[in-house]
Amino acid sequence: MATPRLQDIPLLPGSPRRLSPRAVARASQGPRQGQQHLKVLGPRAPGLQGCSNQDSGQLSGGESSHRSSVINNYLDANEPVSSEAPRSRMHFHDNQRKVDYVLAYHYRKRGAHPSHDSPGHSLAIVSNGETGKEPHAGGSHDIELGPLDALEEERKEQREEFEHNLMEAGLELERDLESKSQGSIFVRIHAPWQVLAREAEFLKIKVPTKKMYEIKPEGCIAKKFNEILQKLSSPLKPRVPEHSNNRMKNLSYPFSREKMYLYNIQDKDTFFDNATRSRIVHEILKRTACSRANNTMGINSLIASNIYEAAYPLHDGEYDGPGDAVNDRKVLYQEWARYGVFYKFQPIDLIRKYFGEKIGLYFAWLGLYTSFLIPSSIIGVIVFLYGCATIEEDIPSKEMCDQQNAFTMCPLCDKSCDYWNLSSACGTARASHLFDNPATVFFSIFMALWATMFLENWKRLQMRLGYFWDLTGIEEEEERAQEHSRPEYETKVREKMLKKSDKSVVQKLGTNMTEREDEDDEDKLTWKDRFPGYLINFVSILFMIALTFSIVFAVIVYRITIAAALSLNKDTRSNVRVTVTATAVIINLVVILILDEIYGAVAKWLTKIEVPKTEQTFEERLILKAFLLKFVNAYSPIFYVAFFKGRFVGRPGSYVYVFNGYRMEECAPGGCLMELCIQLSIIMLGKQLIQNNIFEIGVPKLKKLFRKLKDETEPGETDSAHSKHPEQWELDYSLEPYTGLTPEYMEMIIQFGFVTLFVASFPLAPVFALLNNVIEVRLDAKKFVTELRRPDAVRIKDIGIWFDILSGIGKFSVISNAFVIAITSDFIPRLVYQYSYSHNGTLHGFVNHTLSFFNVSQLKEGTQPENSQFDQEVQFCRFKDYREPPWAPNPYEYSRQYWSILSARLAFVIIFQNLVMFLSVLVDWMIPDIPTDISDQIKKEKSLLVDFFLKEEHEKLKLMDETASSSQGAGPQSRRSRAASSAPSGRSQPGSIASSGSQHTNV
């Protein structure tokens, strides 16, 4: 076929120049498969430049076979847009079509020179994948393509094909002109009503019907109590507009174009809110293919291939913009995302409306968790105050502080350490009583029940929100229907199939990429393909856990060696224990913070190696790996102090040594519980202060600063007019991309572990968690509203795998607290002594009972204290253990008291665990997962929905009968005139039955 002349190529409507040479080459090949020749309509009057329904490929008769969708008629930059309405930053240039989504990419022209006289707000017309360019924009230079230029050309063609496919799906596009040598281009996307209706039906999106009903009224007493509560809490409520009456609710039903008469469609432009519109467009973007990009499926694949840089929905204007214009983003900022409103409740319904159900459920969960920390904080403070009030009555600490007892203790290290008096550890013993007292046991039981009640109340709140947010009908099959394959998965499948020698397999990949549901084993990854990834995952996770344990052991060695070194100097000998404990905890904190970042990146890399098929599977596996690694990292030093420190020391004359004569470290004279408290408090507070707050505030600001500096130093032309008044899509592009809720959940889950796992050693943990979360809620809110691009609205019915992790931590906390009380604290030894060995039923003599004797003459040669002040006086020294004295038949063997206490400890663990588990099950049984009123309302709603359907169907049939009977008495001419008058019009009023019917018929 001969190459057509340039004048034979159709021009864009109103375009001042011809199409690009690449378009000419493609035009010579004829239309693509499934692509119709574009017959362009003439320019329209201002205010009507958007395509009507009939323009968008819905023409009747023979014209429909020769036309494709005209996405945007040409708009001259010098032509006034509208003399009535001001320029909207949320709409196309015609000031009518709303921008539902934005695609952004960076372009680079070859051999182009800046065009200083080009208008800054010019538009390119996207039509069948072609781009209308300005004259003298640099396209007339024929320069040999370099590798980078060839890559840019290839990406441009891929973008054009992808955008053409989007238009075939019914979307309308508008794009800026590439008027500079390089820069960022934004492609605005608008979803017309036909597309919204089609996709809403496909996605089974629930929308309100015309029927409203009253929510079950409360009882008289409950109503009065609720009214009083409402008045008392009114200062705490955010001032957000009430979208509906709290006592009235619309019946909701999945959208169906065949049942348009059911819905209350007053205005088609606002029937679907912005979050729903962007969600629908995102679903189309995810499933649209691009054959030029190796049959890439979806926008995520194109972003991963750097064909596009970003894809995001727009925020609803500026959050701090001047003027009285109010939008949801500004309301959220003023009533939620500022530290000054920390005392107010969260506007959960508005959060859900703006960000979607997934983020709404996160903030609802975080708010409930924070409110549940209030009673636990109060009880924790009471327990701490009880310890402070009874410290003077604690008999064991009095005996330890009494210098008349003169308990001469064995040396803490070899040679350099001297004998010492137990009364020198008076301060540690008194401080231990603050956390090691009988109230701690009851607080541990309370916190175990607290965790159960929190999870039960969350399930109830989740069901309540699901009812009011119309999430009760979401089924697993519907959620899976919305899942699309990840780009990495498609790439792996493509590589696998390309390795096959049969070319038909490769051809099958190109033709059936959109029908992946029917793929056989050749079209998907089997366990054999994934086995190397699984093996690397298993080995890597074991290595990371071993690395964590090695670092914990290295810190132990540091403590031992530093303690021995400081003991050699008389000036530092008195503060050895405090210095070693403080420095070791700080080292642990720094290591935890560093490894947290490393493990997060490693978990993501390991999950990518597994090549999960869907984003949901990827997220779940990433969460499990990251949680496992961060759990081990955060709690390993605490588990060591709680359960292992001081257990493998040995005894005088037979100590356990590591590394050339260094003795294993012992617990403080008052026990390891005080050191556990210090370790837990510093790590918990340090993580919250540094990682959760400073990093979350500082890192985004640094990224924003670096990006701003990069944009300023980037070569290319800048538009001064645009820089002063940037569009909304440009403002959003400068924000940080949304990366998911995993980091937000993870830091709260780790904190939940600190609050529940070791609360027996640190009753003030809930208080510090509460103080942190009050700030955390507003910090996260501010980040979502002001610093992040608007996330895609995701519709889910629960928090997913996070609930299972919370439940697991709650059950594990019962076991850990039981062992902390039984093994780490002196609670059980005191009970055994008081009821089995005490002469008067008190704790008098308890300290002497816990100390064993050792004959100093039996110390190993070279380990005796040098220059001891007690050399001439000491025959026996004391050490904390239950062993037979030197004069017994079996010296230094475990005594009968040791076995009695060990039995009591194990019995306490069993009784404590079963008691708490029984109470937890009882609480679970007493609190139903689904609130009774919500269960009744769901049943009532189903009944009302059936009645409403029957009523509407009856009225529809009645109307049809009346129309048919009136038509029978009229002639053909009148019937034709009535049919013509009732025909659907593209410009019928929004919400009218004719308009609704026409949209359904033509979709």
The pLDDT value recorded for residue 224 is: 76
Contact 953, 485 (CB under 8 A): no
SS (H, E, C) 361-426: HHHHHHHHHHHHHHHHHHHHHHHHHHHHHCHHHCHHHHHHHCCCCCCEECCCCCCCCCCEEHHHHH
- Answer yes or no: is pLDDT of 12 > 60: no
Residue 183: inside a domain: yes
Which residue in 872, 205, 691, 109 sits closest to 479, CA to CA? Answer: 205
Q: How confident is the model at residue 318 (pLDDT cuts 50, 70, 90)?
A: confident
Measured between alpha carbons, how far is 625 from 599 in angstroms, rounded to an integer?
A: 9
The pLDDT value recorded for residue 909 is: 92
Measured between alpha carbons, how far is 675 from 581 in angstroms, rounded to an integer?
A: 8
3-state class percentages of the chain: helix first, strand second, coil last, to nearest 5 = 55, 10, 35
The pLDDT value recorded for residue 975 is: 45
Which residue in 407, 403, 400, 420 sits closest to 567, CA to CA? Answer: 420
- Answer yes or no: is pLDDT of 38 > 50: no
Where is pLDDT greater, at 576 or 306? 306
The pLDDT value recorded for residue 495 is: 74
Measured between alpha carbons, how far is 651 from 893 in angstroms, rounded to an integer?
A: 10
Which residue in 161, 59, 164, 182 sits closest to 110, CA to CA? Answer: 182
Most confident residue range from 211-225, 695-709, 942-956: 942-956
Instruction: Give the lowest-confidence range in 28-37, 296-305, 571-580, 809-818.
Output: 28-37
Q: Over range 957-973, report the average pLDDT.
A: 69
Most confident residue range from 66-70, 498-502, 990-994: 498-502
Considering the chain, what percentage of its residues have pLDDT values greater than 70? 74
Residue 194: inside a domain: yes
Q: Over range 666-692, report the average pLDDT.
A: 82
Considering the chain, what percentage of its residues have pLDDT values greater than 90? 14
Instruction: Give the lowest-confidence range in 98-102, 823-827, 951-955, 964-968.
Output: 964-968
The pLDDT value recorded for residue 962 is: 79
Residue 353: inside a domain: no
Instruction: Give the lowest-confidence range in 499-513, 656-670, 728-742.
Output: 499-513
Q: Over range 246-253, report the average pLDDT.
A: 75
Residue type, 981: S
Q: What is the four-CA torsion angle of 555, 560, 561, 566, rounded to 10 degrees?
A: 120
CA atoms 788, 794, 796, 802: torsion sign:
negative
The pLDDT value recorded for residue 470 is: 82
- Give the CA distances from residue 855 to residues 196, 415, 464, 646, 884, in Å, rounded to whole numbers and listed in that order: 89, 17, 70, 21, 12
Which phi and psi (to 5°) does residue 179 adopt? Answer: -95, 0
- Answer yes or no: is pLDDT of 582 > 70: yes
Name every residue whose Cβ is closer than 8 Å to that of residue 216 and which is 6 or more positions away in sequence: 933, 936, 937, 940
Which ranges constitute the DSSP H helices of 827-985? 827-832, 846-850, 896-926, 932-968, 972-981
∠ CA 785-788-791, nearest 5°, is 90
- Answer yes or no: is pLDDT of 19 > 50: no
Instruction: Give the lowest-confidence range in 257-271, 502-516, 568-582.
Output: 502-516
Instruction: Give the lowest-confidence range in 67-71, 250-254, 686-690, 771-775.
Output: 67-71
∠ CA 927-933-935, nearest 5°, is 85
Most confident residue range from 254-263, 494-503, 930-939: 254-263
For the segment 714-761, what is each residue's pLDDT rounded down to a tens digit? 555 445 445 567 788 888 898 888 888 888 899 899 999 999 988 888
**In 400-509, beta strands by DSSP E:** 408-409, 420-421
Q: Over range 795-813, report the average pLDDT.
A: 90
- Answer yes or no: is pLDDT of 61 > 80: no
Which residue in 771, 713, 925 sits closest to 376, CA to CA? Answer: 771
- Answer yes or no: is pLDDT of 46 > 50: no
Contact 69, 129 (CB under 8 A): no
Name every residue whose Cβ is closer than 8 Å to that of residue 125 and which is 6 or more positions away in sequence: 12, 13, 15, 71, 72, 73, 74, 131, 132, 175
What range does the domain containing 287 cover?
A: 97-108+147-205+255-314
CA atoms 552, 553, 559, 565: torsion sign:
negative
Q: Over range 404-431, report the average pLDDT.
A: 80
CA atoms 310, 313, 315, 316: torsion sign:
positive
- Answer yes or no: is pLDDT of 51 > 70: no
Measured between alpha carbons, how far is 699 from 702 in angstroms, rounded to an integer?
A: 5
Q: How confident is the model at residue 313 (pLDDT cuts 50, 70, 90)?
A: very high
Residue 284: inside a domain: yes
Residue 845: inside a domain: no
Residue 338: inside a domain: no
Q: How confident is the model at residue 64 (pLDDT cuts 50, 70, 90)?
A: very low
The pLDDT value recorded for residue 148 is: 65
Most confident residue range from 93-107, 138-152, 554-568, 979-993: 93-107
Buried-state track 49-81, b at ≥16 Cβ within 10 A, e below 16: bbbebbbbbbeeeeeeeebbbbbbbbbeeeeeb
> β-pairing, 126-127 with 182-190?
unpaired
Name every residue whose Cβ is closer than 8 Å to that of residue 91 and which is 6 or more positions away in sequence: 97, 98, 99
Measured between alpha carbons, how far is 395 from 848 in angstroms, rounded to an integer?
A: 12
- Give the CA distances from residue 392 to residues 406, 421, 430, in Å, rounded to whole numbers and listed in that order: 20, 21, 9
Most confident residue range from 3-7, 12-16, 631-635: 631-635
- Answer yes or no: is pLDDT of 522 > 60: no
Where is pLDDT greater, at 612 or 767? 767
Contact 629, 605 (CB under 8 A): no
Which phi and psi (to 5°) does residue 762 adopt? Answer: -145, 80
Residue 660: inside a domain: no
Instruction: Give the lowest-confidence range in 482-486, 488-492, 564-568.
Output: 482-486
The pLDDT value recorded for residue 239 is: 81
Which phi and psi (to 5°) does residue 115 adopt? Answer: -110, 100
Q: Over range 260-282, report the average pLDDT.
A: 86
The pLDDT value recorded for residue 26 is: 38
**Total tally of structural domains belonging to the chain:** 1
Q: What is the mean pLDDT of the chain?
A: 75
Where is pLDDT greater, at 237 or 747? 747
- Give the CA distances from residue 723 to residues 87, 120, 155, 468, in Å, rounded to whole numbers and listed in that order: 17, 11, 27, 43
The pLDDT value recorded for residue 612 is: 82
Measured between alpha carbons, how far is 759 from 825 in angstroms, rounded to an integer?
A: 13
Six-digit token string for 306:
């750097």
Q: What is the number of other CB atoms lying within 10 angstroms of the CB of residue 517?
A: 7
Residue type, 374: I
Where is pLDDT greater, at 448 or 126? 448
- Answer yes or no: is pLDDT of 74 > 60: no
The position carrying tokens 């008052």 is 670
Q: Over range 517-536, report the average pLDDT.
A: 69
DSSP letters along 870-912, please? TTTT-SEEEEES-B--TTSSSTTSB-HHHHHHHHHHHHHHHHH
Measured between alpha carbons, how far is 591 from 633 in angstroms, rounded to an integer?
A: 9
Q: Over range 659-680, report the average pLDDT.
A: 79
- Answer yes or no: is pLDDT of 882 > 70: yes
Q: How confident is the model at residue 544 (pLDDT cuts 50, 70, 90)?
A: very high
Q: How confident is the model at residue 118 (pLDDT cuts 50, 70, 90)?
A: very low
The pLDDT value recorded for residue 359 is: 93
Residue 155: inside a domain: yes
- Answer yes or no: is pLDDT of 184 > 80: yes
> β-pairing, 206-214 with 248-254?
antiparallel
Which residue in 634, 591, 626, 592 sits closest to 606, CA to CA? Answer: 626
The pLDDT value recorded for residue 981 is: 38
The pLDDT value recorded for residue 211 is: 79
Contact 77, 122 (CB under 8 A): yes
